[in-house]
Amino acid sequence: MEPSPRALTPLLIVLTLSTGVVEAACFLQLGPVFTAMQTGNVLLFAFGAAGEGGLSTMVPAVSLGSFAVGTVIGARMEPRLEARTHRWLVLALMVEGLLISAAGFTAWGLVLSPSTTSARQVLVTAVLAVAMGMRNVTTMRAHVPALPTTLVTTSTTTALLSSSPFGHDPAIGHRAGAAKRRSASILAMFVGGLIGAYLIHLGWSVSALLFLAAAVVLATTVVYARQPNTTRGEDPPARE
C-alpha cells in the first residue's frame, strides 16, 4: 500500500524548504555548485569548459556523478525496502538525513578559500549530491502530483501559470489542490534559500547549515512516521 498523498504533502513541502537551505550552503559557500538542481551543474560545467567566469569543471562534474550514484542507490534500495516494510519512505528519508549529517561532520572546521577548492569541499559536495539523488527517487516513488522537492522552479512555475485561469491549458491538469501544491513548493524553495543565505550572512558555517537541514529532514520524517494512517492506500495518487 502506498502512503497517502494527502499525508505526504506537508512532509514534501518541508523537504523542499530543506533543499533550499542545502543549495544555499553549496552555491554560496562550497561552490558555485548545486547538489539537487542538476540543470544548474550542467550549465556551470559548460561555462567552465568554455573557460569563462573562472568556473571549475571538476566540482559540478563531481556533483553530477554523485547525484547519479545516489539515484541508482535509491532506485535499488527503496523497492527492496517497500517489499519488506510499509515504512520504506521513512527509512529512505532517514538515510538521506544521515547522509546530510555526514556531510555536515565532514565540513566541520572547513576553511573556505575563494581562490581554491579543497578536497574536503569536493567530498562534502559529493555526499550531498548522493543524498539529493536518493531524494529525487523518493519523491518520484511517493507519487504526489505537482509537488517535487528539488527541481521545482521552472517546471512548477510553468505548470502553475499554464493551468491557472490565465493560461487554462487543459493539457497541464487542473486537479484539486494542484495549484496550491505548486505554489507551496515554489514558496518553500524560496524560503529555504532565503533562510540559508541569511544565516550565511550572520556567519553560520557550512556544517551548521547542513546540520540544520539534516535536523529538518529527520525531525519532519519522525513526525510523519508517528501520524496514524500514513501508509494507508485508500487515497491513491491522481494523475495530472
CA nearest to 29, candidates 191, 151, 196, 195:
196
Amino acid at 210: L
Total tally of structural domains belonging to the chain: 1
pTM equals 0.83
Give 164's contacts (C-beta < 8 A, 6+ positions apart).
179
DSSP of 59-122: HHHHHHHHHHHHHHHHHHHHHHHHHH-TTHHHHHHHHHHHHHHHHHHHTTTPPP-SS---HHHH
What CATH number is given to the structural domain containing 120? Answer: 1.20.1250
Structural domain contains residue 240:
no
Structural domain contains residue 234:
no
Structural domain contains residue 102:
yes
Structural domain contains residue 235:
no
List the grid coordinates of 212: 540544520
Structural domain contains residue 123:
yes
- CA dist 103 and 88 (Å) reads 23
> Which whole number is the average pLDDT over 1-6?
56
* Between residues 182 and 75, the one the model is more confident about: 75
pLDDT in tens, 122-149: 999 999 999 999 998 888 888 776 566 6
pLDDT in tens, 15-53: 999 999 999 999 999 989 999 888 889 999 999 999 988
Structural domain contains residue 237:
no
List the grid coordinates of 239: 494523475
E strand or H helix that includes residue 221: helix 206-225
Q: Rounded to the nearest 5°, which phi and psi values hold at 143? A: 55, 45
- Cα-based torsion angle of the residue sequence 74, 76, 78, 83 in order, rounded to the nearest 10 degrees: 180
The residue segments making up the domain with residue 79 are 5-224
Task: Please give the C-alpha separations between residue 52 and each of 2, 30, 64, in angstroms, as whole numbers.
Answer: 47, 19, 20
Structural domain contains residue 50:
yes
pLDDT in tens, 74-124: 988 988 888 776 688 899 999 999 999 999 999 999 888 777 889 999 999
pLDDT at 149: 61
Amino acid at 48: G
pLDDT grade, residue 170 (50/70/90)? Answer: low
Structural domain contains residue 236:
no
